[in-house]
């Protein structure tokens, strides 16, 4: 889509955004966040062994380890955490552990959430036009808040009205978007616009009645859009 998309003319009240490949380079998550957590898992678990939340996370991980497939390592919980990270398993206990490690990393300045250069101007533009911004990511709400609160463009959290993670359901599940819509107080589902780089997520959102746009950043190869209009930058999303 080279033409500007007029959000106001389309009646858009909320822009719902994916993170990886949409607001943030995929490389930041896979080459910065995941390796950061992997490298610090052993030390973090040892240092926080008396933390009740971490004890619950470890207990949940051990239960998952017992039920895991044959490729998963047995015994050492750190090796199991490494296995889950290496295989990008989207499991609640792993996300909770990663979130706590990233929280520490952001707090001491070892991490800074990377966002594309067009994100802050778009957030400012949409907020001035009283268009709300929400996030839906497979990462935990804590991880989302940390990224946007400590971003390369500054603290973006005041612009974001709601954060959703897979506690509402899988991103490829139409029911997840229906649950999100229930919390947004819209006149109709079509007054929400979902922007993502993953076509199956957009398909699910479209089936729930949302408007959709496929975000194809310059470093990405354009997939079969399956009828979703394509944007390469938020610059075309005008109020």
Per-residue confidence of the chain (239 residues) as pLDDT tens digits?
Answer: 557 999 999 999 999 999 999 999 999 999 999 999 999 999 999 999 999 999 999 999 999 998 877 677 877 999 999 999 999 998 999 999 999 999 999 999 999 999 999 999 999 999 999 999 999 999 999 999 999 999 999 999 999 999 999 999 999 999 999 999 999 999 999 999 999 999 999 999 999 999 999 999 875 566 689 999 999 999 999 98
Check residue 194 and give its pLDDT: 98
> Which ranges in the chain are annotated with CATH 1.10.720?
29-107
CATH number (1.10.8.640, 3.40.50.1370, 1.10.40.30, 3.40.50.1000) of 5-24+113-238 reads 3.40.50.1000
Q: Is residue 204 a contact partner of residue 227, using CB atoms and an 8 Å limit?
A: no
Check residue 2 and give its pLDDT: 59
Q: In the structure encoding, which two tokens stand for residue 208, read together?
A: 């729930």
> Which ranges in the chain are annotated with CATH 3.40.50.1000?
5-24+113-238
Task: Answer yes or no: pTM beyond 0.75.
Answer: yes
Check residue 220 and give its pLDDT: 58
Q: Is residue 137 a contact partner of residue 16, using CB atoms and an 8 Å limit?
A: no
Check residue 221 and give its pLDDT: 61
Please count the other Cβ atoms lying within 10 Å of the Cβ belonging to residue 145: 19
User: Within 13 Å, how many C-alpha atoms sit on residue 53's CB side?
Assistant: 11
Show the 3-state SS of 72-118: CCCCCHHHHHHHHHHCCCCCHHHHHHHHHHHHHHHHCCCCCECCCCC
Q: Which CATH class is domain 29-107?
A: mainly alpha
In the chain, DSSP finds a helix count (H) and a strand count (E) of 9, 8
Check residue 61 and give its pLDDT: 94
Which distant-in-sequence residues (6+ apart) come within 8 Å of 96 by Cβ? 53, 57, 140, 142
């Amino acid at each position: 889509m080279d033409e500007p998309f007029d959000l106001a003319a389309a009646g858009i009240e909320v822009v719902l955004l994916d993170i990886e490949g949409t607001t943030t380079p995929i490389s930041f998550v896979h080459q910065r966040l995941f390796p950061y957590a992997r490298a610090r898992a052993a030390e973090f678990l040892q240092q926080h062994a008396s933390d009740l939340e971490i004890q619950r996370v470890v207990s949940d991980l051990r239960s998952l380890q017992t039920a895991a497939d044959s490729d998963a390592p047995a015994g050492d919980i750190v090796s199991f955490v490494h296995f889950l990270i290496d295989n990008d398993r989207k499991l609640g206990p792993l996300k909770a552990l990663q979130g706590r490690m990233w929280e520490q990393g952001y707090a001491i300045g070892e991490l800074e959430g990377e966002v594309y250069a067009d994100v802050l101007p778009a957030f400012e533009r949409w907020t001035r036009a009283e268009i709300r911004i929400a996030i839906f990511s497979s990462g935990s709400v804590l991880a989302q808040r940390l990224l946007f609160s400590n971003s390369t463009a500054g603290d973006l959290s005041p612009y974001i009205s709601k954060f959703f993670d897979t506690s509402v359901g899988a991103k490829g599940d139409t029911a997840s978007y229906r649950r999100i819509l229930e919390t947004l107080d819209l006149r109709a589902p079509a007054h929400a616009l979902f922007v993502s780089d993953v076509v199956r997520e957009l398909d699910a959102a479209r089936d729930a009645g949302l408007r959709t746009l496929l975000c194809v950043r310059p470093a990405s190869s354009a997939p079969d859009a399956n009828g979703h209009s394509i944007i390469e930058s938020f610059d075309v999303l005008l109020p």
